[in-house]
Amino acid sequence: MGSSATPSNAPPSIRLTVNGGAHDVPATPDTALLHVLRNDLELNGPKYGCGLGECGACTVLIDGVAARSCVIPVRAAEGRAVTTLEGLGTRQHPGPTQQAFIDCQAAQCGYCLNGMIMTVEALLRRDPCPTEQALRSELQHNLCRCGTHVEIMQAALRAVQLRAAGAAEDSPR
């Protein structure tokens, strides 16, 4: 009998690009992307809320588009650029959307904020100057159990201002 490759029980490795860095993670292809981000990469910005794609707490960007990582298998993110809340800025240098939520103190428990910030960020990346109605429409499927909607809308509008101010500073004079 000829020799054969040693069977291995180790899960296959999947290569992900997250916040600009490449990571080989040991995960079965159907594992939810959220679990890999939180458990393997220790990126705890995205939150586990419903686990059903309904609340938005787990939102990340995949190729710049908002996506609910609790219902996306990790294989679907392979070869694509994943951005989490941690990829938008740092504690010392928050990104403009993060800064807007800080400025407006738009949180009570804060559990929904990852989804709110990532959803606003995704919209501003494709439309830097959305109307208030467009912001409302984009956020309508993100749930906030604390009723912080007024402050969250103020933060979304402030994010538009901060992004515009940043773009003006960056533009050549």
Residues that bind ligand FES (CB under 6 A): 48-51, 53-58, 68, 70, 107-112, 144-146, 148
Instruction: Give CA–CA dist 107/113, Å, rounded.
Output: 7
Least distance to ligand FES from the beta carbon of 152, Å? 7
Which amino acid type is present at position 88?
L
Least distance to ligand FES from the beta carbon of 105, Å? 11
Nearer to ligand FES, 70 or 104 (CB): 70
Instruction: Give CA–CA dist 132/45, Å, rounded.
Output: 26
Instruction: Give CA–CA dist 110/142, Å, rounded.
Output: 13
Question: Tokens standing for 139?
Answer: 């956020």
Least distance to ligand FES from the beta carbon of 2, Å? 48
Nearer to ligand FES, 54 or 166 (CB): 54
Nearer to ligand FES, 144 or 162 (CB): 144
Least distance to ligand FES from the beta carbon of 72, Å? 9
Range 81-115 burial, b when 16+ CB lie within 10 A, else e:
ebbbbbbbeeeeebbbbbbbbeebebbeeebbbbb
Nearer to ligand FES, 89 or 110 (CB): 110
Least distance to ligand FES from the beta carbon of 60, Å? 10
Nearer to ligand FES, 17 or 108 (CB): 108
